Amino acid sequence: MNTTNFDLVVIGSGPAGEKGAAQAAYFGKSVALVECEPELGGAAANTGTLPSKTLRESALYLSGFKQRELHGMTIAMQERVSVKDFMYRERLVVDGERARIAANLERHEVEIIRGRASLVDQHTVAVEKVGGQPVQVTGEVILIAVGSHPYHPEFMPFHDDRVFDSNTILNLHDIPASIVVAGGGVIGCEYACIFAYLGTQVTLIEGRDRLLTFMDGDISLALTEGMARLGIKQYLNESIESVDTSRENLSLTLKSGRVVSADTILAATGRTGNSHGLGLEALGVKIGARGAIEVNERYQTTVPNIYAAGDVIGFPALASTSMEQARIAMVHAFDLKYKTALAPILPLGIYTIPECSMAGETEEMLRKKGVDFFAGRANYGVNARGQIVGDESGFLKLLFERENMKLVGAHVIGEQATEIVHLAVVALLVEADVDLFIQACFNYPTLTELYKYAAYSALDARARAAS
Whose CA is closest to 14, among 186, 143, 150, 166? Answer: 143
Judge whether 258 lies within some domain.
yes
The verdict on 134 and 278 lying in the same domain is yes
Distance CA 77, CA 98 (A): 32
Judge whether 298 lies within some domain.
yes
Question: Which spans in 335-373 are helix H?
Answer: 363-369
The verdict on 316 and 389 lying in the same domain is no
Poorest-pLDDT segment among 39-43, 140-144, 217-221? 39-43
pLDDT above 80: residue 226: yes
Q: Letter for the amino acid at 446?
A: T
Judge whether 467 lies within some domain.
no
The verdict on 369 and 445 lying in the same domain is yes
- We report the CATH number of the domain holding residue 97 as 3.50.50.60
| Contact status, residue 204 vs residue 167, Cβ threshold 8 Å | no
Q: Cα–Cα distances in Å, from 265 out to 173, 198, 240?
A: 14, 16, 11
User: In which band, very low, low, confident or very high, does the pLDDT at 317 lie, cut at 50, 70 and 90?
Assistant: confident
Centre a 10 Å sphere on the Cβ of residue 246 and count the other Cβ atoms it contains: 6
Q: Which helix (H) or strand (E) holds 164?
A: strand 163-165
pTM of this prediction exceeds 0.95: no
The verdict on 134 and 49 lying in the same domain is yes
Strands (E), 2-109: 3-11, 31-35
The verdict on 187 and 260 lying in the same domain is yes
pLDDT above 80: residue 26: yes
| 328-359 pLDDT per residue, tens | 999 999 999 888 898 999 999 999 999 999 99
Q: Which pLDDT value is given to residue 81?
A: 58
Distance CA 273, CA 287 (A): 9
| Contact status, residue 205 vs residue 240, Cβ threshold 8 Å | yes
Region label for 16, one of left (φ > 0), alpha (ψ between -120 and 50) or beta (otherwise): alpha
Q: Which residues contact 107 (CB under 8 A, 6 or more apart)?
A: none
pLDDT above 70: residue 262: yes
Distance CA 268, CA 264 (A): 13
Judge whether 345 lies within some domain.
no
- DSSP structure class, residue 209: S
How many Å is the Cα radius of gyration of the chain? 24
pLDDT above 80: residue 50: no
- We report the CATH number of the domain holding residue 445 as 3.30.390.30
How many alpha carbons fall within 13 Å on the CB side of residue 457?
16
| 280-291 pLDDT per residue, tens | 999 999 999 999
Which of 288, 304, 334 marks a domain boundary? 334
| Contact status, residue 410 vs residue 218, Cβ threshold 8 Å | no
Q: Cα–Cα distances in Å, from 140 out to 3, 183, 226, 306?
A: 14, 42, 52, 9
Whose CA is closest to 394, among 375, 421, 374, 373? Answer: 421
For the chain, the domain total comes to 3
The verdict on 293 and 365 lying in the same domain is no
pLDDT above 70: residue 89: yes
The verdict on 110 and 54 lying in the same domain is yes
Distance CA 234, CA 227 (A): 9
Judge whether 157 lies within some domain.
no
